[in-house]
Structure 1
Amino acid sequence: MTAESGDPLPAELRQRAEHELLVRTGFVRVRDLSDRFGVSAVTIRHDLQQLEERQLAKRVHGGAMPLAGSRIERTFEEVMTEQAEQKSAIARVAAGLVSSGESILLDVGTSTAALADELVARTDLTELMVFTNGLKIALGLEAAHPRFTIVVTGGTLRPKQHSLVEPLAAPMLDSLRVDTVFLGCNGVDPVAGVTNINLPEAAVKRSMIGAAARCVVVADSSKIGSRALATVCPIDDVDVLITDSGASSTVLDAVRSQGVDVIVADRTTT
């Protein structure tokens, strides 16, 4: 619970929330944390000292930043089980945006892998053309053949995400014009836009956006308000953002104000 509720969190829960915010954003300010959690700056500095002693943060002037290496890209398998319920809810909503006879691009990632599962489960979908740069996603979609035509984009393998990137990833994408791209990412911010943790996949994502009439970003709440290394696109290049109820309402309102259709998925939806 934050300052808005008038009921400050216990120290352990507050420090956990501070660390989660630090990991998402890459930097936290003492003043901002004090306002957010309704405690004094002295208390926040003590919190940050505790996080530093536990090797979860590095204190700097005015705040803290992650320790070197704490924002290192993790593998597909390491991330797959995180926010699993939220990703499933997001995927169900996203699958509802797809109709028979359409052509779509599925970006690499665990949220789009969940979407692939939901598409396969929709037995009413036929004549769907799916392009993907994710090998795991392509294999998951195979269960829907021949209802779906699955095309792997080509390129050079990145084992960490089982993705295909440059060189040789762009030629097919440059020749396509699909109905919708479903894009994964590591950050969605109203100022920084859509961002990703690694450069090669960010470049492919940009090509995917250029190949689609509509851009749908699927991002669980841990990504909302976060910024990662590589810019994928400004926020006004996104047509639809699908996230979950854990996302900051302030950030979502700022995204909506730039013309993005924001859909908050309900985990109870079936």
Structure 2
Amino acid sequence: MLAAERHGAILRALQSDGSVRVADLAAELDVSEMTVRRDLDALDARQLLRKVHGGAVPRHNRGEEPRSAQKAGQQRAEKAAIAATAAATIVDGMTVAIGAGTTTTELARHLRTRPTITVVTNSVNVFRELTDPTADGSEAPLVYLSGGVRTPSDALVGPVADAAIASFRVDVTYLGVHGVDPDAGLTSPNVAEAQTNRTLIEIGGRLVVLADHTKYREVGSCVFARLDDVQTLISDDGLTAADRELLDARVGDLVIASAARR
């Protein structure tokens, strides 16, 4: 298979699956992993994808906001591991804020049967996970949903959301992010969502960020916090040792969740 044919196959797989892994591509294309890595380097140089540890993800423009449904199928094992780790940090009696995102929605699934906690959220999906009736009729947390304008990531944002959120005080704020970068900090492609994230941070005693390894060095157009503002960053073992060392020096506590990948 010619390089151009491999490149086309890689891009089609990326468009279909939302991410690709070196080992899977090597098996599918019947080439060595070294050849796949060279192909990914070439496609990254042409800005057709973004190479990450072990594979590649789509390259987004700074102002491009992928839809929640599109992101939900990506890095599922990593998000599940991060969410489980985050859920273990929430104890009975806490009031927590949970921002929008696919990883925070996964966190909400772990909290569905925790009636002793209170949740403030601007996420349609988090609210649904925590309030939809369950088959066994188990008790759910008390949940407050802000109003606001809905974004492609299913966040409620804008002045109405900010005013509602600002009336609360919570023990911990849990945020998903579009990107985590050592220089830019925490970013979003949506200016209104960035402002609402700032409000969620302001009402919290601590900030916990949930970000799988593909979010590292992704930079959206709107900065809403510095890395120094993060008390805990929960990521996954797809981060390289060098990335972990850099992040560990910038955030209060770096926690690595072990993902059970296929």
**TM-score range normalised by the length of the shorter chain:** 0.7 to 0.9
Give the match for residue 37 of structure 2: 13
User: 2:193 aligns to what?
Assistant: 201
* Residue of structure 2 in register with 1:225 after alignment: 217
1:135-146 matches, within 5 Å, as 135-142=124-131, 143=133, 146=139
Deviating runs (4+, > 6 A) in structure 1? none
Alignment length, in residue pairs? 219
Which stretch shows the higher mean deviation, 258-267 or 104-113?
258-267
TM-score by length of 2: 0.76
CA distance in 1, matches of 2:188, 2:247: 17
**How far did 1:248 drift?**
2.9
Q: Once the two structures are superposed, what CA deviation does each residue of 1:142-172 show, in whole Å capped at 9, x if it has no partner?
A: 14774410110111222x2222110311112
Tell me the SS of whatever aligns to 2:195. helix
Q: Does 1:152 align with 2:176?
A: no
Once residues 131 and 231 of structure 1 are traced to their aligned partners in structure 2, the CA distance between those partners, rounded to angstroms, is 22
Inter-CA distance 67–176: structure 2 relative to 1 (3 Å threshold): closer
Tell me how far 1:228 sits from its aligned partner.
1.8
Q: 1:255 to 1:10 in 2, by over 3 A?
A: closer
Contact 1:225 / 1:248 at 8 angstroms: preserved in 2?
Answer: no
1:1-270 correspondence runs (5 A): 10-16=34-40, 19=43, 22=44, 48=45, 51=46, 56=48, 72-120=64-112, 123=113, 125-142=114-131, 143=133, 146-158=139-151, 160-268=152-260
Cα shift at 1:68: 8.6
Q: In 1, Cα distance between the equivalents of 2:164 and 2:60? A: 37
The 8 Å contact of residues 120 and 165 in structure 2, kept in 1 or not, is answered as no
**Identity in percent:** 28
| Deviation for aligned residue 1:110 | 0.3
Give the distance between the partners of 2:171 and 2:59, measured in 1 at CA. Answer: 42
Q: Which runs of 5+ in 2 are unaligned?
A: 1-21, 23-31, 50-57
Q: Once the 2 structures are TM-superposed, how far is the Cα of residue 86 of structure 1 from its aligned partner?
A: 0.4
Deviation at 1:220, TM superposition (A): 0.5
Q: What's the CA shift string for 1:96-142, capped at 9, x where partnerless? A: 0001110011100001001111222xx4x332100111111101111
Amino acid at match of 1:15: D
C-alpha change, 1:68 and 1:266, in structure 2 (3 Å) is closer
Structure 1 spans left out of the alignment, 5+ residues: 2-7, 23-47, 58-65
Contact 1:117/1:140 (8 A) holds in 2? yes
Tell me by how many angstroms 1:17 deviates. Answer: 5.2
CA distance in 2, matches of 1:18, 1:138: 42
Please tell me the residue identity of whatever aligns with 2:252: V
Measure the CA separation in 2 of the matches of 1:255 and 1:173. Answer: 29
How big is the shift at 1:13?
Answer: 2.9
Distance 2:165 2:183 in 1: 27
Deviations 1:74-115 (A, max 9, x none): 110011010001000000000000011100111000010011
SS of structure 1 residue aligned to 2:127: helix
- Kept in 1, the 8 Å contact 2:171–2:206? The answer is yes
Q: Deviations along 1:27-82, whole A, 9 cap, x unmatched?
A: xxxxxxxxxxxxxxxxxxxxx4xx47xxx27xxxxxxxx98969722110011010
Question: 1:179–1:67: structure 2 CA closer, same or farther, 3 Å change rule?
Answer: closer
- TM-score, scaled relative to structure 1: 0.74
Contact 2:232 2:254 in 1 (8 A): yes
